[in-house]
Structure 1
Amino acid sequence: MTVHFPFQNSYSALPDSFFARVAPTPVAAPRLIKLNRPLAAQLGLDPDLLETPEGAEILAGKTVPAGADPIAMAYAGHQFGQFVPQLGDGRAILLGEVIDSDGIRRDIQLKGSGPTPFSRRGDGRAALGPVLREYIVSEAMHALGIPTTRSLAAVVTGEHVIRETALPGAVLTRVASSHIRVGTFQFFAVRRDTEAIRRLADHVIARHYPELVGAERPYHALLAGVVARQADLVARWLLVGFIHGVMNTDNSSISGETIDYGPCAFMDAYNPSQVFSSIDEMGRYAYANQPRIALWNLTRLAECLLPLFSDEQEKAVAEAQDILGAFSDQFSAAYQAGLRKKIGLFTERDGDDALIQDLLVAMAKNQADFTLTFRKLGDAAVDDSADARAQFMEPAAFDEWAGRWRARIALEPQGAAERQVAMHAVNPTFIPRNHRIEAVIQAAVNDDNYAPFEELVKVLAEPFEDQPDYAAYADPPLPDQRVLRTFCGT
């Protein structure tokens, strides 16, 4: 049987200025190293056929499946605050779209599939390490309940790519509800192509915000919808200690999904100023800066949409500012509600925000592990001797806070066991810790050994379960295991 993709191609039906038609560059000897079988089935694909040599050739870009209309999408973007008028998919090719089992349209894209007209002198390829990192982290984010692009497959190409040294080449098959970014709107705004902005906005509304079709002011409502989704998304990042690393406008998804897992990382010890990305020298995208940067990116989107708001510039600006003004309250509401759940509060009372902030301050001062502190706090809800305090360099700092916390939770009718279950449902045991990811990458790159990768993916698929056989995966790194810098895959 032949591998069949039930492609639809709505984006490539837009005007030619939206993309460049380009086929993937064939590779020498593709070999499938991981297929996400449940995701394949959800997409209406046959996992068994995808695991054949024919499937590997398609997932590596060596063979283009019937019905595909391969394109590289055009977009611009602010990169670390500096505007670049033309970026685009320099090493990714969108094969087409499928409708999944939930009725949702999904892009299927090959990342690392060869040069495109947007490659800017790059080779269009991906090294194995960044492909494994994106597979691991994106699927972990999905398991944590955070909107994200997904990973369908990882394939080694049988070729090497040259970075600082020769590295095994690989291709990631990425799945997203779309790959439309703030930078996609910026591409047309800088060219003053208002009609293209309108076409793009109409496409986004029909695809991601269908409830807005026919609205009295659909473009105002679109901006409001994107603002709301981004506020919720960034709150979710902070609640699990995630740092995106490269929150450029070309990495800001209009659908509200997390996109582009380059030098991203999860915090170990809590530090609001934490930066891992080797290219973020000024800390622009530090952990605590992410809400501010999200609003900055949304402001750039609003600027693109102004011609659709009104012919009167001052009126359009005022209307956009009013919509953007909702971000802070929306983010704060989502973030504070999430923090209350993390410490086991079912209701809201005066003083709760201060109680939570005091815990975060104590955690920062005592280098407490972000993930384990909250997980152990769930155990402390039922057992006074539970060892949450062991996360603190000075356990007395936890003891002082815990006394006030116990007095607060005593005011609620829920029992200790119910509180623990609720806390464990939002406080994971397992996250993709940086040292674990690096160990997986080294085993694969140096020894062609994918057993550590398979095991880590398996553990992270159930982040809220204790999994006693894999308890060591919850441990923070030892001093000599700490990963202080992460790097962009390009």
Structure 2
Amino acid sequence: MILHHQYAEQLSSLGSYVVPSPLDNMQVELFNHELAQQIGFPIDDISPDQLLAMLHSPSTPFTFKAFAQKYGGHQFGHWNPELGDGRGLLLGELKNQQGYYTDLHLKGAGPTPYSRHADGRAVLRSTIREYIGGEALHALGIPSSRSLCLFSSNTQVLRETAEPGAMMIRTAPSHIRFGHFEYYFYAQQHDKLEQLMDYTIANHFSECANADNPYAELLRQITLRTARMIALWQCHGFVHGVMNTDNMSIHGITFDYGPYAFMDYYDSNAVFNHTDQGGRYAFDQQPGIALWNLNALAHAFSSHCSIDELKDILSQFEPTYLAQYNSIMLLRMGLESTSEHKSCLTTWLDMLASEQRDYTYSFRQLALCDGINLCDSLRDNFIDRRRFDKWWNHYSALRQRSANQSTDLTRLNPVVIPRTHLLQDAIESAELDDFSKTTTLLEATSTPYDKKWDNHDLSKPPATTSAVSLSCSS
């Protein structure tokens, strides 16, 4: 196997080499065989247990050039230059048969120069949440980092309480964040900033190289990808929880899973991060925050782009976001992009909000109807039947005239998502060395449209509509 080290070798001054620090009695609990095949990991030559063993030696291809990246970020709107890979290490890049490179990044690898006196560890709770979250979003068609494997251990890590420590290998096209560019811009290290930009274009955005201004085109592509990703978050009720610029990927993929959650009952103001008292990263704020973050990133491009170029690029966020959002949401309902159909969608969401109906369950029940024959399970989901009947009659008439009338909506509306209570149930079992619930939930969220889950317990909304509050700590 050839593991490349392009970032570490070409941008060695933008971070530090660090040898991973294994945990006690590490065991392979999850391994993503499908992903391994896609990214070119030689599973026939290196078994998961052999991979684990190689992480214990400082001289294997996975460890001898392990690299901690330096970056900064705007955290809750405030600039913080004292960031970087405080618990993660870029092991290298893997090249598949199609010639695409994928980062292998070890999370929970121990202290680095950027740990800020922390232990550099991750806990089992957060690694399970990230592993399942990434696979779930991928299955929903939402771009995301993904996990190759998860290792448990006997090491106890102190957070709010003592928890089992764990490690995972995360994959992504790269681990370059908005905060990478911001750091070298604010540090006035313009030579390193340009080196980073040129590396990014050459290795990840080669289509920008022949543009009149490659740097402007790079920012444009980041903007468009981000807009489309955020639209998909909004379509599926996903709340990231902590959209700091150091948690934003230049590839427009969901990145750095912390206090994320999928909404249960529909609440446009939903906040799940208990430290976000002001609701900065609430569900309905995510599009605006994404644009705010892109504006922060654009400052780092100001030496390479004119003010008019930057304004033009940022102005493309909103129409791109709206086009993606409206297209997906209307298609999920078998409707078209007309003002009348959009009004029907708005009324549907208003009904979900006013009656605190479960977002995913309601869309799935709607999908199980054919737009003509009303399912009792959908109607019975609402208290104000008079309002619902009026809406249904309008929707049914629109659906029958729609070009999307014959679309199978069950292929667009998931039955299973990684709900917070399901994740917590799996985590509590895993902490007792029982990963059966984890693997079942992983299977279900990786096949979220399959009708076999419709009558399964994993498809049911939680019994209570009480608010969920999650911690950032991992």
| Shared fold per TM-score greater than 0.5 | yes
Name the counterpart of 2:61: 66
Name the counterpart of 2:448: 463
Name the counterpart of 1:80: 76
1:393 aligns with 2:393: no
1:371 aligns with 2:360: yes
TM-score normalised to structure 1 length: 0.92
> Which one of 349, 357, 363 corresponds to residue 346 of structure 2?
357
Offset, 1:17:
2.9
Name the counterpart of 1:172: 168
1:102 and 1:239, CA in 2 relative to 1: closer, same or farther beyond 3 A?
farther
> Which one of 407, 423, 426 corresponds to residue 440 of structure 1?
426
> Which one of 141, 144, 148 corresponds to residue 144 of structure 2?
148
SS of alignment partner, residue 396 of structure 2? helix
- Report if the CA contact (8 A) 1:57-1:63 is conserved: no
Offset, 1:52:
5.2
SS of alignment partner, residue 283 of structure 1? coil
Offset, 1:80:
0.6
Name the counterpart of 2:313: 323
Offset, 1:392:
2.4
Q: Which runs of 5+ in 2 are unaligned?
A: none
| CA distance in 2 between partners of 1:485 and 1:154 (Å) | 25
- Report if the CA contact (8 A) 2:364-2:410 is conserved: yes
User: Partner letter of residue 312 of structure 2?
Assistant: D
1:489 aligns with 2:473: yes
Please show how residues 7-406 of structure 1 align to structure 2 within 5 Å.
7-47=3-43, 50-51=46-47, 53-58=49-54, 65-66=60-61, 68=63, 69-309=65-305, 316-345=306-335, 347-380=336-369, 381-406=371-396
User: Partner letter of residue 147 of structure 1?
Assistant: P
SS of alignment partner, residue 192 of structure 2? helix
| CA distance in 2 between partners of 1:272 and 1:175 (Å) | 31
1:92 and 1:318, CA in 2 relative to 1: closer, same or farther beyond 3 A?
same
| CA distance in 1 between partners of 2:241 and 2:452 (Å) | 30
| CA distance in 2 between partners of 1:325 and 1:52 (Å) | 46
1:53 and 1:322, CA in 2 relative to 1: closer, same or farther beyond 3 A?
closer
Name the counterpart of 1:426: 412
| CA distance in 2 between partners of 1:64 and 1:487 (Å) | 36
Q: Percent identity?
A: 36
Once superposed, what is the RMSD of the aligned Cα atoms?
1.8
> For each residue in 1:344-398, what CA deviation from the matched residue of structure 2 results, as whole angstroms up to 9, or x when unmatched?
11x3323222221111111100111111111111222253234222332333332
Range 18-27 or range 283-292, more displaced: 18-27
TM-score normalised to structure 2 length: 0.95
| CA distance in 2 between partners of 1:262 and 1:58 (Å) | 28
Question: Structure 1: which 4+ aligned runs deviate by more than 6 Å?
Answer: none
Offset, 1:162:
1.1
SS of alignment partner, residue 86 of structure 1? strand
Instruction: Tell me the number of residue pairs that the alignment of Structure 1 and Structure 2 aligns.
Output: 472
1:102 and 1:374, CA in 2 relative to 1: closer, same or farther beyond 3 A?
farther
User: Partner letter of residue 373 of structure 1?
Assistant: S
> For each residue in 1:170-198, what CA deviation from the matched residue of structure 2 results, as whole angstroms up to 9, or x when unmatched?
00110011100100001101111222222
1:64 and 1:439, CA in 2 relative to 1: closer, same or farther beyond 3 A?
farther
| CA distance in 2 between partners of 1:73 and 1:395 (Å) | 56
1:15 and 1:384, CA in 2 relative to 1: closer, same or farther beyond 3 A?
closer
SS of alignment partner, residue 401 of structure 2? coil
User: Partner letter of residue 57 of structure 1?
Assistant: A
| CA distance in 2 between partners of 1:119 and 1:337 (Å) | 42
> For each residue in 1:446-477, what CA deviation from the matched residue of structure 2 results, as whole angstroms up to 9, or x when unmatched?
x2111100111111111011114862111000
> For each residue in 1:319-365, what CA deviation from the matched residue of structure 2 results, as whole angstroms up to 9, or x when unmatched?
211210111111111111111101111x3323222221111111100
| CA distance in 2 between partners of 1:424 and 1:295 (Å) | 32
SS of alignment partner, residue 308 of structure 1? coil
